[in-house]
Structure formats: structure tokens, C-alpha cells
Structure 1
């Protein structure tokens, strides 16, 4: 398999026109979809425990099963997204189904109903991810991948900030169930935004459907395979942000009390999300400016930011200003990493394997995050938080080593 052609000169006027209606449509869909599913996500614990009287264990089982199905669906969604015509239907269907089923949990009268609706909604959400990412690569020239994916990540992160805030306002005004039910509105608007984006996407040149086929070996050949190995090392050390919140809460509680410590930790998490939002587009712009190897270099910078953040988390300091630093570094890191991962895969994957490549990336992210959080949690409990973050830092360093190998011609 031959490598893709080098990226075009990003300084030409044609390449500068990257924020097209299609890109804006996909970015808007990401924002609205995140707002839509963050509302039921934020209110799910209250619905299960307060409204339906379920134990806390039910929440863990439902979320665990849903996340597992979403991860598997991302792999399957990649196979579907290899076909340019089919990826359009998968994207629209995925956004609409997630919105309807997520909001439908408001009417559930039993815990099992919540579980089925949540798991099915998350499966649809997983299916749409590779299709959306492949669609974005169809819309923009290769020299603008960084900026386009940075814009999409920025909008997604904005939705993660705005969604929980909207949930709080809706609960105060209407109650938990009404708030969850109304989440269908931004979710369906996201589906409309995807349709708008598709209308501004070049139509497939061939009417022949590409047969459904799992293609792992072709995706893992050459430079793309080296990149996936480095990404896997990063994701195995990329824990859920909830563990960062827990670390800050544990350190702050002795001096501030549990309630105040929790409030401060959530404030630090908000700073993390803001940093990710603000870093995404500049990271993409830098990746485009650096040329063919730009995405890998930006990815390495993001991984280095995580390594430094995790290293700081090994220190038992309860100073708020000190704790803010690793949260900001991790936020900048995730903004850079997610943008660079997507733009690198879009640049390195053959056009007919883009869907599978993005599906593979999403699967590696999902499985790696699960392993990272599980192992770090065990080390945290059995040994210490310092041991957990030392372990995670080691994976960041391995990822940097892998990216060094990947960046060689």
C-alpha cells in the first residue's frame, strides 16, 4: 500500500478557506449533540437513585455496559463509514437515535428500561463517530485538516461545558424528568446540522456501494500503524477526568472540608474543559502550518503536556494554585491530542479506508481509557495515588517514544 501524497502548501488562498458551511455544520452538530447528551448524563444518577430508588451499583452497571457497547459500535461504525454514501446515513441516524433514546429515559418507570435506553443510545452514539470524522475529511483540503478537526473539538468541548449548566437550570425550573425529556431538542437540532453539513459535502463519485468488510491489517500498515501504536500507548495512560477531580478533592478535603473541596475540584475541572476548548483550534492551526508531520509533532506536544500534568499530580500539594497547573496542562494536552489524532489519521489513511481508520482510532481510545482508569484505580487503592500517577506518567513517556518512531520517514 502506498503512502498518501504529501500535504499541499497551507499558505495558498485556496487552502485558507477551510471554515466552510460543511465544517460549520459538523462543528454545530458536535456542540448541540454534546449539550443534548450531557443533560441526561448529568441527571442520570438523580433519576436512578432519587426517582426510581435504584442503588448506586445500578448506575455503575448501566454506565459500564453502555460504554462497552459504545466502544464496540465505534469499531463497527468505522466499517460502515468506509462507504461515502453509507457514512452519511449512519451519521444522520446516529445523531437522531441518540437524541430520541437519551431523552426517552425521562419516561422510564423501571431501572431496566433506563439501562436498555441508555445502552442503545450510546451504541448509536458510537456508530456515528467514525462517520462524522470521515465526513469532515471529505469537506476540507488535506492542508486544513488540523484547523477543521480543531474547530470540531472546540465545539464539542463547548457543549460539554454548556450541557451540565443547562441541565442545572432546567432542573431548577422544571424538574429532573422534564429536563431529560427536553434534551431531545438540541439532539435533534444536531441531526439537522449534520444534514446541513452533508448538503455541503461533495457527493460520492461512484454509485457502487463498498461491501462491508472488516479491514484491520491494511489500516495498521505503514505510517498509520506506527501512529496507532503510539496512540494506544497514550490512551492506556489517559484516565477519565473524574480521577483528576478525585485527586484534587482528596488533597483539598483536609484543609477545606469535603463540600468545599468538591466545589473547588469541580471549578478546576471547568478550567480543564476551558483549556481544552481554547487549545483545540490553535493546535490544529499549528499542525497545518508545520506541514506533513505537523499533526504528529502537535500530538507529541500534547502528550508531553499530559506527562508533565501527571508528574505534578504525584506531588501531595493542597495549594489551589499548584493544583490548577496540572488541570490546565491536561486540558491543553487533550485539546491538542484529540485534534492532532484526528487530523493525522485523516492525512495518513487511504481514502477508501478512512472509515475503518477512524473506527480503529475510536476503538483504541475507548479500550485504552477503560484500561487506564481501571489499572490506575487499582494502584490508587492498593498502593497510593502517587503510584497511580507515576504509572500513568510512564505510559506518556512510552507514547512520546512511539511518536518519535512514527515521525521518522
Structure 2
């Protein structure tokens, strides 16, 4: 399904017989719930660190805004580059859970290392390794979600997963706040508790996520009688960018990512604008997470119903309104609540909608690779935005830097609105090894047999 589509193809459109059992199909599969639980636990661990990291680096280690922008960009840029590797490996070995598990495990191993690092160099290396784990797991995890869910419920499924993931993002800063308030060595205590929680997430993944992740991609046959499908080749992965719809999604993700200010910078700007005490700083992400949690599922379901383009662009309009409040609103007492609410609404309208749209444009056997291509482009763009915003803050100050980001976001959103217009039902290109049906979840074999997602 393209970002501008309003619904998935109906059985009448695809020629498939109606499935009477689909009337009783659950909106969310067990694989999605299990993966959501893993993400919830892992996000508690990650957000405990993320919540205290800006103050720890700037106030504790004396890092400049430009230095923090570079480190924050590295933090996300490494993850972006590794996403391509994780997505391609997952498709090549046809074991999404294995690659995702390696990623979760690597991130968990990095958390206790923060207890040993008290200077910028080692911390940078550890954060890069932790983001490597995130990059490995992101595309295989999203591929498992999409392949275990009927096409017409993709937005809702990603919304449920993002809601569970955001529950962890809400609990993580709260846990960090509580640990800081009772522990003597506050930052080390936060890092230690975070490591223990990360290990729990890996255990849940191993024990409760189905070995196939619920994916509709059939495993490689082990017997000698059946023909073994050709493994996914790198040429097929690069050929995905020849798909017009995927190119459009990737272009818009990059353009909008270039003007999306890092969450950490938003919270630092809000703290400086309103004078919030440093002891309350770890609680700021909770405001964003709470709104995201409440609206992620409704926003995903709304995108399935009225069109993903509308919801996606509306989310960026809400983010632009938040930038405007930070720039020009008077010092109202409710200003922090308004900015955090708009920030959370932005994520609810975009974070699950984009992968749901990408998943519907890519064949099932290359699902993780397609998700990784768009995710990598978006993350690299945000890496560039972190560097540019940190430099602009250091050179011009917070006001001009944010004004430039807001102007860029307005222009890029206008371009995205044009690029993501509903596509005419023109003939799609047939790429070697991909087949002609770009919305098919089946493998492009000479005599393909459609594989229906489990219900």
C-alpha cells in the first residue's frame, strides 16, 4: 500500500476468494504482542540512559552544544548505516528473529560498559556499539510485524507495537528519575539498572517470540526433495530503489529527516526557555511518551482508514507548531505541556505510519531490506540535522537555529505533499527477480503461490 492509498486491495481486486474467517481475525497477532513486549522492556533500558545523557554530557563532562550535536548524530548515524546490513542479512538467511536477537543482545552487552567509561572517548565508542545493535534489530523486527499482519491492518499493528514501545519510553525516564533521587552515585546507578533491564528484554525475545516471528516468508526447506529458493542477492536489494513508490517514500523520509530536530535538543531548548530545574529534566521525555502512547493506535487505525499520506503530513504540521511555540509563544505556564503534547502527536502520526506504508510496497522476501533502505535514509538525514543544528546553536544561538529548522521543515513538508500524491494506476516496472506485483507478499518464483499471513 502506498502512503497515499486509503485501503489495501480488496479480495475482489486481487482475485483472491473472500475469507469468511477474516471476520474474526484479531487486529493484532501474537507475534506483534510478543515483539511489543520485547520493545517495551528494551525501551525502558534505553530511555533510562537517554533521559540523563544530555545533562550527563553537557553539565557533567562539560561538552559543548556542538560536541553534543556531533555525538548525538553519531549515536543515530551508526544505527542508520547498520540498518542496511541488518535488513539484508535477515532477508538473506530468512531468519528475522536471529538477526533481531543479535541486535538486542549487543545493545544489552553495551549497557554495563557505561559503568566503566567516564570520559567522552570511551562513551562515544560504547554508544556507537549500542546503536549498532539497534540498527541490526530494527528492520528484522518491523519485517516480522508486517509479515504477520494482514495488509489492511498494517497501520493498526504498527500502532500497537509503537504504543507498547512507547510505554517503555515513558517508564524509562521515570525510572531514571527515581534512581537519581535515591542513589548516591546517581548516573552509575542508572546505567547499572538499565543493563539489568536490557538482559530481561533479550530473555523475553528468546522465550516468547515465535521462531519464525510469525512471518509469512517460508523458511528454507531442509529436505533434499524440494527445490531450495535462491538466497536474496545484493543486486535485488539495490534494485528496490527502482520502484517509484519506494523511491518517493525514501525521498520524503530523507527531506523531512533533514529538518527534524533531535529529541534531546527539543528538551534542552524547552528547559532553557522555561527554566525547568535540572532535577526535572529526565521527566520531559515522559510528556512526549505519554501522548504517543495514547494516540499511536488511533493514529495507525486512522491512517488505515483515511490514508497514510494525510496522517503522515499532519504529524509534521504538528511538529512545526511545536517549533513555533518554542520560538514565539510567551512564557505561559502551560507552554511545556503544549510543546510536549505536540511532540508526542507528531510521533504518533508518523512513527508507525511510515513503515506500514513501506511494508506494503515491498515483496515479502525483501521486506526487511526495503524497510532498512527507508529507515537508513531517514536516520542519516537526522544525523545531518543533529550536526547542523548543533553548529547553528553554537554560532547563532538557539532562536535562529530553531527558526532555520522550522523554515526548512515547512518547505520539505510542502515538497512531500506533492511527491506523495496518490499515484495513477500506471504500469509498474518489472524488476529482475522481484516480480511484477509490488504488493505481493509471496516469493517471486516462476509459479508463485500466494502466502497468506496467519490469522
Same fold by TM (over 0.5)?
yes
- Residues 30 and 408 of structure 1: is their aligned pair in 2 closer, same or farther, counting only changes over 3 Å? farther
Q: CA contact under 8 A between 1:27 and 1:155: conserved in structure 2?
A: yes
Deviation at 1:397, TM superposition (A): 2.5
Q: Give the structure 1 partner of residue 115 of structure 2.
A: 106
- The match for 2:231 is 210
- How far apart are the structure 2 equivalents of 1:366 and 1:113? 23
Change (3 A) 1:211 1:174: farther
Query: Partner of 1:394 in structure 2?
Result: 411
SS of 2:80's equivalent?
Answer: helix
Question: How many angstroms apart in 1 are the aligned matches of 2:69 and 2:382?
Answer: 16
Partner residue, 2:293: 277
- Which residue of the partner structure matches residue 386 of structure 2? 373
Instruction: Provide the C-alpha distance between the structure 2 equivalents of 1:113 and 1:388, rounded to a whole number of angstroms.
Output: 31
> Aligned match of 1:222 in 231, 236, 244?
244
1:354 corresponds to: 367
Mapped to 2, the partners of 1:272 and 1:403 lie a distance apart of 27
Report deviation, 1:355: 1.4
Larger fraction in helix: 1
1:250-329 equivalences in 2 (<5 Å): 250-252=272-274, 258-260=275-277, 269-290=285-306, 294-322=307-335, 324-329=337-342
Whether contact under 8 Å (1:313, 1:386) holds in the other structure is no
Q: For residues 60-139 of structure 1, what are the structure 2 equivalents within 5 Å?
A: 63-83=72-92, 85-108=94-117, 112-139=121-148
Q: Which runs of 5+ in 2 are unaligned?
A: 12-17, 222-227, 426-455
RMSD, matched Cα: 3.3
CA offsets per residue over residues 180-235 of structure 1, 9 Å max, x none? Answer: 22323321222233332234625734345724516233234122222222222222
Give me the whole-angstrom Cα distance separating, in 1, the residues matched to 2:314 and 2:58.
42
Question: Structure 1 residues 312, 11: closer, same or farther in 2, change over 3 A?
Answer: farther
The equivalent residue for 1:145 is 154
Distance 2:409 2:390 in 1: 11
Distance 2:406 2:269 in 1: 10
Does 2:190 match 1:188?
no
**Equivalent in the alignment of 2:433:** none
- Report the counterpart of residue 234 of structure 1 in structure 2: 256
Gaps of 5+ in 1: 253-257
**Pairs aligned (count):** 394
Distance of aligned partners of 1:267 and 1:397 in 2 relative to their CA distance in 1, 3 Å threshold: farther
Question: Among residues 210, 230, 242, which one is paired with 1:198 in the alignment?
Answer: 210
Please give the TM-score of this superposition, normalised by the length of structure 1: 0.83
Correspondent of 1:156 among 150, 153, 165: 165
What do the CA deviations read for 1:226-263 (whole angstroms, capped 9, x no partner)? 222222222222111233334434443xxxxx355x67
Question: Is this contact kept in 1: 2:259–2:405, CA < 8 A?
Answer: no
In 1, the alpha carbon distance for the partners of 2:197 and 2:105 equals: 10
CA gap of 1:314–1:102, structure 2 versus 1, over 3 A, is: same
- Which deviates further from its counterpart, 103-112 or 114-123? 103-112
Q: CA distance change for structure 1 residues 377 and 394 in 2, over 3 Å: closer, same or farther? A: farther
> Once the 2 structures are TM-superposed, how far is the Cα of residue 8 of structure 1 from its aligned partner?
4.3
Question: Residue 225 of structure 2 aligns with which residue?
Answer: none
Structure 1 or 2, whichever has the larger Rg, is 2
1:22 maps to 31
Structure 2 distance, partners of 1:288, 1:12, is: 21
Question: How far apart are residue 98 of structure 1 and its match?
Answer: 0.6
- Deviations along 1:298-331, one digit per CA (max 9) or x if unpaired, are 2233233234433444424222335643432232
- 1:43/1:180 contact within 8 Å kept: no
- 1:330-349 superposed matches below 5 A: 330-349=343-362
- Taking the aligned partners of 2:389 and 2:68, their CA distance within structure 1 comes to 21
